[in-house]
């Protein structure tokens, strides 16, 4: 995921598996440290979030708000006093300031989205919410002037490190809090080539590591490594806009506001739904066979194949969205477009077959963060009538979109591919949401 930080920089987050070094006793200690830390952190975050909400509803004074924030900025056993439950034991060496900052930010965003008007519900931090990690525990160890922690390797020189960068035996470590050392797992050198290149950029100090987070996914420990990276400088034309029509027959059709012919269709509904529905059918059959399974350890063991199947399904959709979003952004870069317009699909009927089987929201997220790397802005537009307006003359009339693939204007007579016509209308739209 990528977010804007400054005008010429971005925050990029990568998921990397890490394993603790040591014997079984040490590994058990690390898992307990992380699990307890995650549990108590999220309990504390929920307490603070509830307190902010109550304070907002009661409209307490500015001074009382300051005192409230001070009380929640101290650990539960602080001699100066704390508002946290005494049972909350924060993970040793973890920074409470990160927790406070995150809750404040989440609360502010929820208020902007209508929390106090009842439009959205109060955010809650579930048990799988990751442990927030201070930058000093994950940054480059050689640049950590505050403490002897962070990312490092044991190669004799940077040249030696580069010689191993794309090999299976690459070894990079993190000296973490509470005397814990992790080894980073990169997997297949070919599949992880881009990630390895980013690690190289960190060691060459072109990318700066930021505050990150750690989560436990099953038996795996995952580091969500955040990096501050420079945008790639491109000469983009403010007058060129890419329109993206997310459709049924063609997952994504790209068109331009400045050209009647240039287009790119990305993906195939048949390929996507064929694999997705196969996985769903397997899942339903497995669920049916497990319906009569009784409780206990045996049931948990039998449920593992179902969980693996669910993971396969989620990973397939995510991979497909990465593929589509990359091609959309590549089309924009190739045509030097400063903007990408997409339809706001938040009000669409989620019961439609294609919408149930494809996360359009995730796809739009991927397009947004990939575009941000090049300084391309993604804007949402009102989808009303984008498929019924003629992109050639602007005439609107019901029935101009004959079927899924064909559009014929009843005014100027233009005959166009219906998805391409919609993508051009999206590109030319200024009805932003």
Indicate which residues carry an active-site annotation: 245, 343, 419
Length reported for the chain = 433
Widest CA span of the chain, in angstroms?
A: 79
What SS3 string covers 289-310? Answer: HHCCCCCCHHHHHHHHHHHHHH
Q: How far apart are CA 18 and CA 172, in angstroms?
A: 10
Question: Which helix (H) or strand (E) covers residue 284, if one does?
Answer: helix 269-290
Dihedrals φ, ψ of 295, to 5°? Answer: -75, -175
Q: Are 372 and 4 in contact (CB under 8 A)?
A: yes
Q: Are 248 and 354 in contact (CB under 8 A)?
A: yes
Reading the block at residue 229, the tokens are 């990276």
Q: Are 360 and 405 in contact (CB under 8 A)?
A: no
Tell me the CA end-to-end span of the chain in Å, nearest whole number.
22
The DSSP output letter for 403 is: S
CA 233 remoteness from chain centre = 23
Q: How far apart are CA 142 and CA 134, in angstroms?
A: 16
Q: Please report which residue ranges of 335-428 form alpha helices under DSSP H.
A: 353-356, 360-372, 418-428
Nearest to 378 by CA among 426, 334, 335: 426
Q: How far apart are CA 335 and CA 240, in angstroms?
A: 8
Question: Which helix (H) or strand (E) covers residue 279, if one does?
Answer: helix 269-290
Reading the block at residue 399, the tokens are 């029935």
Residue 334 CB-density burial (10 A; 0-12 exposed, 13-18 middle, 19+ buried)? exposed
């Amino acid at each position: 995921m990528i977010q804007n930080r400054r005008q010429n920089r971005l925050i990029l987050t990568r998921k990397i598996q890490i394993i603790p070094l040591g014997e079984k006793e040490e590994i058990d200690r690390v898992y307990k440290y992380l699990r307890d830390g995650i549990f108590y952190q999220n309990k504390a975050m929920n307490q603070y979030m509830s307190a902010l909400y109550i304070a907002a509803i009661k409209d307490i004074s500015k001074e009382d708000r300051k005192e409230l924030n001070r009380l929640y900025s101290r650990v539960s056993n602080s001699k100066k006093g704390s508002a946290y439950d005494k049972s909350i034991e924060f993970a040793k060496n973890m920074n409470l300031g990160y927790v406070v900052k995150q809750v404040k930010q989440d609360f502010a965003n929820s208020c902007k989205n209508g929390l106090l008007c009842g439009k959205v519900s109060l955010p809650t931090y579930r048990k799988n919410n990751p442990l927030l990690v201070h930058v000093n525990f994950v940054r480059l160890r050689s640049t950590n002037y505050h403490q002897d922690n962070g990312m490092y390797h044991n190669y004799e020189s940077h040249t030696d490190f580069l010689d191993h960068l794309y090999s299976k035996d690459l070894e990079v470590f993190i000296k973490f809090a509470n005397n814990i050392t992790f080894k980073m797992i990169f997997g297949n050198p070919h599949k992880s080539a881009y990630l390895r290149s980013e690690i190289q950029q960190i060691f060459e100090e072109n990318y700066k590591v930021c505050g990150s987070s750690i989560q436990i996914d099953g038996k795996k420990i995952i580091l969500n490594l955040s990096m501050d990276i420079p945008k790639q400088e491109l000469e983009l034309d403010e007058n060129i806009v890419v329109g993206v029509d997310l459709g049924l027959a063609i997952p994504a059709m790209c068109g331009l506001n400045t050209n009647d012919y240039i287009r790119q269709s990305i993906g195939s509904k048949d390929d996507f739904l064929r694999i997705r529905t196969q996985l769903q059918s397997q899942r339903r059959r497995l669920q049916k066979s497990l319906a009569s399974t009784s409780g206990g350890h045996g049931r948990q063991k039998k449920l593992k194949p179902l969980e693996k199947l669910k993971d396969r399904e989620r990973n397939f959709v995510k991979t497909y969205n990465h593929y589509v979003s990359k091609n959309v952004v590549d089309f924009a870069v190739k045509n030097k477009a400063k903007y990408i317009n997409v339809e706001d699909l938040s009000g669409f009927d989620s019961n439609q077959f294609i919408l149930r089987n494809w996360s359009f929201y995730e796809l739009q997220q991927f397009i947004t963060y990939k575009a941000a790397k090049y300084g391309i802005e993604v804007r949402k537009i009102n989808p009303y009538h984008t498929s019924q307006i003629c992109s050639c003359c602007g005439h609107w009339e019901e029935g101009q979109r004959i079927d899924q693939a064909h559009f014929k204007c009843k005014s100027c007579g233009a005959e166009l591919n219906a998805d391409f016509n919609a993508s051009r209308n999206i590109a030319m739209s200024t009805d932003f949401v």
